[in-house]
Amino acid sequence: MATTDSIKQIMKELDSHSPLLPSRPNGFVLSLLGISTYLVTADRIVMPSEEEFVRSFLRDTFGRHVEQEYYPLFQQMVARFKQEPRERLAPKVRYCCKYIAGSMPPEEIPLVIKYLDQLALADASSSADEWAAVEELTAWIQK
């Protein structure tokens, strides 16, 4: 399980767009959490169904050990992202998108976009802000 110190270090790396992030064993998962957090906080209201979608995705895709280690980080990222202005978050999230795009074959990028669409639909009332975030993220991933 990620310790408080390791979570703080990961957050610091995201803040600084650190080249260390991709060298982490789960750099892809961390980047996916970054874009997921950006999306679910777009309307400043994070629904339990959105959190459960991310938790289930981590467990079903990467295994229970990844869920147990990284879901607490996701929760901390949500709390932090809700407090920060979107314009301050954008460079960090663009960095995550760039990392994701660079770590998978181009023909698999639509899978990430489908994930974002499904996450936006996880709550019964997807907002215009969430769909704007999906469009933003899609554009950043495809660059």
Q: Are 21 and 123 in contact (CB under 8 A)?
A: no
Give 28-83 pLDDT, tens digit per residue.
898 999 999 999 999 989 999 999 999 999 999 989 999 999 999 999 999 989 98
* Residue owning tokens 């399980």: 1
- pTM score of the predicted model: 0.85
Token pair 């990222």 is found at 77
